[in-house]
Structure 1
Amino acid sequence: MTADTGSFPLPGKPGKGSFNRKRPEPRDVLPEAILARIRQYSGRVATEAVRSMEEQLPYFADLEASQRASIQLVVQTAVVNFAEWIENPSNVEYTVASFQTVPQDLARRVSLRQTVEMVRVAMEFFERWLPLLARNEDQLIALTEAVLRYGREIGFGAASIYASAAEARGAWDSRMEALVVDAVVRGDTGANLLSRAAALNWDPVASATVIVGNPPPDQNVSVAGSVHDTARSHGRSALAVVQGTKLVVIVSGAVTSGDPFAGALMPHFADGPVVIGHTTPTLEDAHASAVEAIAGVNAVAGWPGAPRPVHSWELLPERALIGDTHAGRTLYELLVKPLEEAGSALSDTLDAYLDSGGAVESCARELFVHPNTVRYRLKKIAEITGRDPQDPRDAFVLRVAATIGRLAAANPDRFTPAAMTRITDISLN
């Protein structure tokens, strides 16, 4: 069954009537005298077109005098180029050249939508003025059609210029973003850090959290844009870059494992561990968060059942086991020292309980106390440390911390605060 096309002539099929009659090109109808008059009156036409913009566009009056003068120059160039374009309509240089005279400050001040509105007002003025130059009907038709076609090409030219500018700005922003993230990872928190971050719309007083994982294999560089979109939808700011084999993301505000924002970020990482560093007051302090997150990524293999994402402080024992002395010091300060200050009974009970394999009765016999006394002391240990010795994971954390405590007591010179706060290697490879 064939569609009924009626009498409407389809492309490639011969038709009747004036619809298919080839119209002459404007240059074949318009004499050189008319083109010369267009060039001659270009300045006056540009002035009148700009006046129309002032009357119709409210924001035009807010522009500086130099910016309005630049717009008038653009319009005058477009009028002169119209005469040249009539000579060769297929040459797109005549439509794009008008916007090549735009200063950078004006391009940043005027949006694409505003540019389109100014083009519309200018072309409406041309449509009223140019036909007045015609001396007969053929010239009138040629001028009218030419200005419509030229206006369309001018619009495409404006869109092309703004698209190129957006691509250049995007590439510049990507390089700037890489510099900021690299500075945070390396700890180069100089004066340039906040100024560069501000250029990327980062709030200088916002807190910062670093998240590290593997980039998705099918995105790599483009993943940064996806991270930005997700952060923006949750009212956050984000910086993201692929460094080596890792995706490093810095987000504003705190991030918790059960936070919907954290869950929304996970699809931007490849399958595998994702580690969250602690939240720092400002971006200038975020190096500490980066160190913890990267150290966690290097150690997370030691905990096959680690949640995704996992906070770096949950990986303190694994980090200590691979030589992260800062993690060892933190375990000592958070777990060992409070128990020591609470009295030797709790520390002795913890050691005996862990050595007995978590059997309360065996621990009680070892200490010569009632099992309920052991249970009471275990409850006190959980209250003081926040770790329950009867939980397998917490028992492992307490075991590593207790071992560090014994090593610190036996080797006081090697376990001084200065020695144990050394930053470990934060290689991303």
Structure 2
Amino acid sequence: MPRPRTDSSAAPSGARPAASRSTKSAPDTAAPTNAATLDRLRSRIGALSTTTLKRLENDLPWYRSLRPDERAALGLVAQKGIASFVTWYERPASPAWVMNDVFGTAPTELTRSISLQRALQLIRVVVEAVEDQVPDLAGGNDEAALREAVLRYSREVAFAAADVYARAAETRGAWDTRLEALVVDAILRGESSDALRSRIAAVGWKSTGRITVMVGSSPGEPSPTFVAEVRRAGSRFADDTLVGIQGDRLILVLGGISDQGPAFLRLSELFGPGPVVYGPESVSLVDASLSAQAAFAGLTAARAWPAAPRPVAANDLWPERVMSGDEAARRDLYKHIYVPLLNAGNGLVETLSSYLALGHSLEATARELFVHANTVRYRLRRVSDVTGWDPLLPREAFVLQTALVVGRLVGSRATQDRPPTRQ
């Protein structure tokens, strides 16, 4: 004869919390235990486990395609779940133990190969297999109570499974964030090794070109989700994005940007106050340290150009970087501006030098060089074609003038270092 139920109406209102929120180990009176049903459950654990494993093979195609070790781990979880149900049915208690009792034997790697959706499908099959046996396991008067107990227990197992996967996701997220920070740090330091390449592969980077580094200040008090928001914004414009925060600086490593103008403008809004600088493109993530070094050098020198746009290219800050002692900027000015002007000939260097020295006056330059003003105009257009910098624009004329100074210094140094000619 079933044990009589406790009349819950006699208890004060709010005296007993809901079963799923209970923190005590006292029996839950909403799931009465019948001694005969409990004995039958204990004697049928093996048969229920066998039936359940067969149902998993038949009902879940993905289960059959698993590796033997994965199938064995899931089968062990299913068997453990049935055995734990018997224990729970005897003494319904807080669901806190369910996670350790049911999922404690499952390897951590299982959450990587089995999605939460599939885990819930497995729980559903197990519950259906046990529920089908309810008429044979319970007496006539206890069938409804046992079926209710199965459903309540399946709910607790489902919540426990969700908790397991949530914790695994948090652990993976923390590790991925740390690994991402290590990759960003290695790029900034110019590290090039097999370890860096393996880390790059581990963070899922796929871009093979068009790598750019953006740097600027980080917000004063970033929210806990700030990095995720930056990464999500970066994914709208770039194929790959790495985010790093080092002190008060925010670093973005972007790969595969197709339209840089709108992308850099939008991403610059995520930075804190002050200049935002992006470096030149690199051909690979391993070589992105050059872009990062240029961007950081530009960030240091940007204060010398108060009217600089935001964001600004590191190469647009060549003059300021040279004055702050950046050797890379000095080499770039010599290589990309002065040398091409020398090689182009046709008096481009002389014309540009006179034009800049005479206050950007075409007529004065023409008189100085004994040529027509149209010839000066033509040569200045050639300067723009050869270098990409227009001497008619004040800012770009400043870049060209700095390149002339750098080129003369390099040429003078080369002459001084040349050994004397033997007579």
Q: Distance in 1 between matches of 2:315 and 2:342?
A: 21
TM-score (norm 1): 0.84
Aligned to 2:92: 89
Does structure 1 residue 65 correspond to structure 2 residue 68? yes
Aligned to 1:192: 195
The unaligned stretches of length 5 or more in structure 1 are 1-10, 14-23, 417-429
Write the deviation string for residues 357-398 of structure 1: whole angstroms up to 9, x where unpaired: 212222233334333332222222222222211111111101
Q: CA deviation at 1:255?
A: 6.1
CA gap 1:206/1:408 in 2 versus in 1, 3 angstroms: closer
Aligned to 2:48: 45
CA gap 1:199/1:70 in 2 versus in 1, 3 angstroms: same
Q: CA deviation at 1:348?
A: 2.2
CA contact (8 A) 2:238 2:257 kept: no
Matched letter for residue 85 of structure 2: F
Write the deviation string for residues 42-79 of structure 1: whole angstroms up to 9, x where unpaired: 23212211211222222111012222222221112111
Aligned to 1:178: 181
CA gap 1:286/1:369 in 2 versus in 1, 3 angstroms: same
Question: Please, which moves more after superposition, 324-333 or 295-304?
Answer: 295-304
CA contact (8 A) 1:212 1:276 kept: yes
CA contact (8 A) 2:302 2:320 kept: yes
Aligned to 2:332: 330
CA contact (8 A) 2:207 2:255 kept: no
CA contact (8 A) 2:210 2:282 kept: yes
Aligned to 2:218: 215
Q: Distance in 2 between matches of 1:178 and 1:116?
A: 34
Matched letter for residue 158 of structure 2: G
Aligned to 2:116: 112
Q: How many residues align?
A: 394
Aligned to 2:17: none
Matched letter for residue 214 of structure 1: S
Q: CA deviation at 1:189?
A: 1.5
Aligned to 2:25: none
CA gap 1:284/1:87 in 2 versus in 1, 3 angstroms: same
Matched letter for residue 245 of structure 2: V
CA gap 1:151/1:27 in 2 versus in 1, 3 angstroms: closer
Question: Please, which moves more after superposition, 82-91 or 235-244?
Answer: 82-91
Q: CA deviation at 1:110?
A: 0.7
CA gap 1:363/1:267 in 2 versus in 1, 3 angstroms: same
Root mean square deviation, CA, Å: 2.6
Q: Distance in 1 between matches of 2:266 and 2:134?
A: 57
Aligned to 2:104: 100
Question: Please, which moves more after superposition, 168-177 or 351-360?
Answer: 351-360
Question: Please, which moves more after superposition, 157-166 or 83-92?
Answer: 83-92
The unaligned stretches of length 5 or more in structure 2 are 1-11, 15-27, 419-423
CA gap 1:366/1:159 in 2 versus in 1, 3 angstroms: same
Aligned to 2:172: 169
CA contact (8 A) 2:389 2:400 kept: yes
**What SS does structure 2 have at the residue aligned with 1:91?**
coil
Aligned to 2:251: 248
Aligned to 2:163: 160
Q: CA deviation at 1:180?
A: 0.7
Aligned to 1:312: 314
Q: CA deviation at 1:272?
A: 2.9
Q: CA deviation at 1:294?
A: 1.3
CA gap 1:219/1:374 in 2 versus in 1, 3 angstroms: same
**What SS does structure 2 have at the residue aligned with 1:268?**
coil
- Pick the aligned partner of 2:82 from 79, 83, 86: 79
CA gap 1:312/1:235 in 2 versus in 1, 3 angstroms: closer
Q: Distance in 1 between matches of 2:304 and 2:399?
A: 12
CA contact (8 A) 1:221 1:241 kept: no
Matched letter for residue 356 of structure 1: L
CA contact (8 A) 1:112 1:162 kept: yes
Matched letter for residue 138 of structure 2: A
CA contact (8 A) 1:46 1:73 kept: no
Aligned to 2:413: 411
Q: CA deviation at 1:351?
A: 1.8
Q: Distance in 2 between matches of 1:408 and 1:76?
A: 79
Q: Distance in 2 between matches of 1:353 and 1:158?
A: 76
Percent sequence identity over matched residues? 40
- Pick the aligned partner of 2:285 from 283, 290, 300: 283
Q: Distance in 2 between matches of 1:36 and 1:288?
A: 73
Q: How does 1:144-159 map to 2 (within 5 A)?
A: 144-159=147-162
- Pick the aligned partner of 2:303 from 292, 301, 304: 301
- Pick the aligned partner of 1:364 from 354, 363, 366: 366
Q: CA deviation at 1:113?
A: 0.3
Q: CA deviation at 1:27?
A: 5.9
Matched letter for residue 103 of structure 1: P
**What SS does structure 2 have at the residue aligned with 1:249?**
strand
**What SS does structure 2 have at the residue aligned with 1:279?**
coil
Q: CA deviation at 1:182?
A: 0.6
Q: Distance in 2 between matches of 1:299 and 1:221?
A: 31
Q: How does 1:360-399 map to 2 (within 5 A)?
A: 360-399=362-401
Q: CA deviation at 1:190?
A: 1.0
TM-score (norm 2): 0.86
CA contact (8 A) 1:300 1:318 kept: yes
Aligned to 1:141: 144
Matched letter for residue 150 of structure 1: Y
